[in-house]
Amino acid sequence: MAAHDRLASQSQVVLRLGQMLLSFGASAYRVKKSMADLARAVGISDHRAQVTYTEIIATAYANGTFRTELAEQRLMGVNADKIDRLNNYVVSLRGRSVRVEDVSDELDAVARIPALYDWFSNALASGLACAAFAFLNGGGWVECSAVAVASFFGQALRRQMLHRHMNHFGVWMACGALASLIYILLVAPAQHFLGVEATHQAGFISALLFLVPGFPLVTGLIDLVRQDFQGGIGRLVYVFMLVASAGVAVWAVSAVFGWSVAPQYTIELVPWLHFLLRFLTSFVAAYGFAILFNSPHRVCFAAALIGAVINTGRIALVLLAGMPVPAAVGLAALAAGLLAVAVAKRTRFSRVTLSVPAVVIMIPGVPLYRALTNLNNQQIDDALSALFTVLFTIVAIGMGLALSRMLTDKNWLMESQERVPNLWDYEKEEDA
């Protein structure tokens, strides 16, 4: 009984670590590996876990007995800062033994850390990032300025609703409707009274790009590559539902006001200046998304610099070398993964918090929301063309990041042939 009680306290603190990582947006692979590393540090002989997007089932073997527990995690979100803090803490325990009480105190300390940015800074980052996206999507000053204001208020509403633990799908629908409505209310009077051309109407799609769930999308792809199918499929279904919720709001608002979602605007600049501005706006977009993921400024800067380099390179490959978009995106994602590894080795930042903001800016959010609107309008050919473009691009991002992991981490390149634990082994060990 004493051995089982001891194992109960050990396994509970390990399970709590897994729940916290899951709630902060870590991938299933990261959750399982961190739990296994902490389990060894607290004296558990062997630890196995099955991780989905909302649940963890874990079995711990030690002291001649075993214990299986199940935990459900319903408060989902993204907090890159706390992922890095927990990851660094677990790494510091390698080769050491630690008391359960000390681990529990450390987890309490991490849980008490408030968000790094207040609502205004968070919303401002969203507005600037989406305005940068609008420029990258061919918009001019009209689109960029209106998108900045609309995304600011959309993100401010989303933060307040999420802090009240409201249903995510309802949150995405409400914030998508608000952002698109604000864009229309800004541009429509300008068209009527100031003579602004109607070609700027489709720019309101860029105002919704803060709603692209980039972090769970990328970690879901990573889980699939690692063959953590339950966690990966769950994340991707969650992503699809969020995008569909925002897409319904976009279609409803565009239908009510009769606004087009087909792009008619473009901006022409001197090539060298255009590429320089693309580099700067890619930096701003990646920096803004890193802030939305609650990364410290140093992480934001590193991730934004990686994003600016790889996204500008991707555009150059497409425009100057004529490379197909998915191939260019895949190479850019590979470069992002390798650069993230290089930076991570010299800092205490993790690869995921560096690479995800960098590659998120390549996710084709505008074609995605446009395709959903076209589906609702029964424009099937246009919708399918855009959806396939989005699908190939997202797969290319996943393949590029996966290849970078395989090239830099032997645990990704080769599967270990671990023997299934047998309780009899631990009973003999305890008797000895």
Residue 426 within any structural domain of the chain: no
pLDDT of residue 416: 64
Residue 347 within any structural domain of the chain: yes
Judge if 220 and 87 occupy the same domain: no
| pLDDT score of 335 more than 80 | yes
Q: What secondary structure does DSSP assign to 226-294, as a single string?
A: TT-HHHHHHHHHHHHHHHHHHHHHHHHHHHHHT---S--------HHHHHHHHHHHHHHHHHHHHHHTT
pLDDT of residue 1: 59
- Contact of 299 with 290, CB cutoff 8 Å: yes
Judge if 39 and 90 occupy the same domain: yes
Q: Centre a 10 Å sphere on the Cβ of residue 287 and count the other Cβ atoms it contains.
A: 26
pLDDT of residue 417: 58
First to last CA, the chain: 18
Going from the C-alpha of 121 to that of each of 4, 262, 292, the distances in angstroms are 48, 32, 9
Which residue type occupies 11? S
- Contact of 8 with 65, CB cutoff 8 Å: no
Mean pLDDT value of segment 315-342 = 93
Q: What secondary structure does DSSP assign to 313-375, as a single string?
A: HHHHHHHTS---HHHHHHHHHHHHHHHHHHHHHHSS--HHHHHHHHHHTTS-HHHHHHHHHHH
pLDDT of residue 432: 43
- Structural domain count, the chain: 2
Residue 373 within any structural domain of the chain: yes
Confidence of residue 421 (pLDDT cuts 50, 70, 90): low
Residue 49 within any structural domain of the chain: yes
pLDDT greater at residue 193 or residue 68 = 68
Residue that is last in its domain, among 114, 140, 172: 114
Residues 182-224 have pLDDT tens digits of 999 998 888 777 777 766 777 788 898 899 888 999 899 888 8
pTM: 0.90
Residue 430 within any structural domain of the chain: no
CA–CA separation, 252 and 247 (whole Å): 9
Q: Centre a 10 Å sphere on the Cβ of residue 91 and count the other Cβ atoms it contains.
A: 12
Residue 424 within any structural domain of the chain: no
Judge if 152 and 194 occupy the same domain: yes
Judge if 315 and 406 occupy the same domain: yes
Strand partners, 57: 50, 70
Residue that is last in its domain, among 114, 143, 174: 114
Dihedral angle of Cα 207, 159, 32, 17, to the nearest 10 degrees: 160
**Percent of the chain scored above 90 by pLDDT?**
53
Residue that is last in its domain, among 95, 114, 133: 114
Judge if 135 and 200 occupy the same domain: yes
Residue 428 within any structural domain of the chain: no
Judge if 264 and 374 occupy the same domain: yes
Let me know if 118 is exposed, middle or buried by CB neighbors in 10 A (0-12, 13-18, 19+): exposed
Q: Where are the alpha helices (DSSP H) in 80-140?
A: 80-92, 100-112, 119-136
Q: Quick one: tokens of 134?
A: 């609008």
Judge if 45 and 189 occupy the same domain: no
Domain containing residue 63: 3-114
| pLDDT score of 132 more than 70 | yes
Report DSSP state, residue 206: G
| pLDDT score of 419 more than 60 | no
Judge if 134 and 173 occupy the same domain: yes
Q: Is 69 in a helix, a strand, or coil? A: strand
Judge if 243 and 378 occupy the same domain: yes
pLDDT greater at residue 4 or residue 208 = 208
Question: 194-232: b or e for each residue (b if 16 or more CB lie within 10 Å)?
Answer: eeeeebbbbbbbbbbbbbbbbbbbbbbbbbbbbebeebb
pLDDT of residue 429: 45
| pLDDT score of 430 more than 50 | no
CA–CA separation, 260 and 336 (whole Å): 35
Judge if 300 and 384 occupy the same domain: yes
CA–CA separation, 243 and 36 (whole Å): 34
Residue 155 within any structural domain of the chain: yes
Judge if 103 and 150 occupy the same domain: no
Residues 355-387 have pLDDT tens digits of 999 999 998 877 888 787 777 777 888 788 888
CA–CA separation, 44 and 26 (whole Å): 23
Judge if 148 and 96 occupy the same domain: no
Mean per-residue pLDDT over the chain, rounded:
88
Please report the sign of the dihedral spanned by the C-alpha atoms of residue 370, residue 371, residue 377, residue 380.
positive
